């Protein structure tokens, strides 16, 4: 029987403490079916940095259309609907920084930003990404998105909680 590396459980606990995905049916819960769809959109939608103990940073960036992005920003659709409506072959010009989860000992070192920029650049080889958007759950999440958008020369749009 395979045992999860120690960091895996820590990452899962961190995700749950920040996003409370189990208690929010409107959020994306990454399972095998969702992973298949994400990888079909682009292999860099799911990116991780790991050490010998397992993952230390997980990034989820979803390319989508301007229309779907705007509907999400305007709270006309949920996060799950955003993913459901996004299909390969559409004019995907926006990137949704859905989540960036970093273990505490790796925070503040620039690695998460570096991983986000790498994923966006890879996605940008397939889709002409012009806009980054985010639904920040923490001030660090907002700061990360603003910094990535600035460095990548993209417009940043933000969905608010109010």
> Is pLDDT at 17 greater than 90 in this prediction?
no
Q: What percent of the chain has pLDDT over 70?
A: 92
Structure confidence at residue 18 as a pLDDT band (50, 70, 90)? low
Evaluate if residue 1 carries a pLDDT over 50: no
pLDDT over threshold 60, residue 55: yes
Verdict on whether the full-model pTM lies above 0.95: no
**What is the domain partition of the chain in residue ranges?**
6-19+30-158
Question: Directed axis angle between helix 139-152 and helix 111-124, to 10°?
Answer: 50
Per residue in 80-121, pLDDT (tens digit) is: 999 999 998 899 999 999 999 999 999 999 999 999 999 999
Write down the CATH number for the domain with range 6-19+30-158.
Answer: 3.40.630.30
Report the alpha-carbon distance of residue 30 to residue 21 in Å, rounded: 10
Q: Judge whether residue 134 has pLDDT over 70.
A: yes
Average model confidence (pLDDT) for the chain? 89
Give CA–CA dist 138/120, Å, rounded. Answer: 21
Q: What are phi and psi of 24, to 5 degrees?
A: -130, 100
pLDDT, position 19: 63
pLDDT range class, residue 138, cuts 50, 70, 90: confident
CA distance 28 to 19: 10
How many residues are listed for the chain in this entry? 162
Q: Are strands 94-102 and 155-158 parallel, antiparallel or unpaired?
A: unpaired
**Pair 111, 101: CB distance under 8 Å:** no
């Amino acid at each position: 029987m395979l045992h999860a590396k120690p960091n895996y459980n820590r990452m899962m606990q961190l995700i749950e403490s920040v996003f409370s995905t189990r208690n929010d049916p409107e959020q994306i819960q990454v399972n095998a079916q969702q992973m298949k769809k994400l990888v079909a959109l682009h292999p860099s939608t799911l990116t991780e940095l790991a050490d010998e103990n397992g993952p230390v940073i997980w990034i989820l960036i979803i390319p989508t259309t301007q229309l779907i992005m705007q509907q999400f920003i305007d709270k006309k659709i949920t996060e799950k609907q955003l993913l459901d409506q996004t299909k390969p072959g559409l004019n995907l010009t926006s990137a949704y920084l859905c989540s960036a989860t970093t273990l505490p000992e790796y925070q503040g070192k620039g690695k998460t930003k570096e991983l986000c920029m790498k994923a966006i650049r890879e996605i940008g080889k397939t889709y002409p990404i012009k806009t980054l958007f985010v639904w920040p759950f923490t001030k660090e999440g907002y700061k990360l998105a603003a910094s990535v958008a600035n460095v990548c020369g993209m417009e940043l749009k933000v969905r608010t909680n109010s």
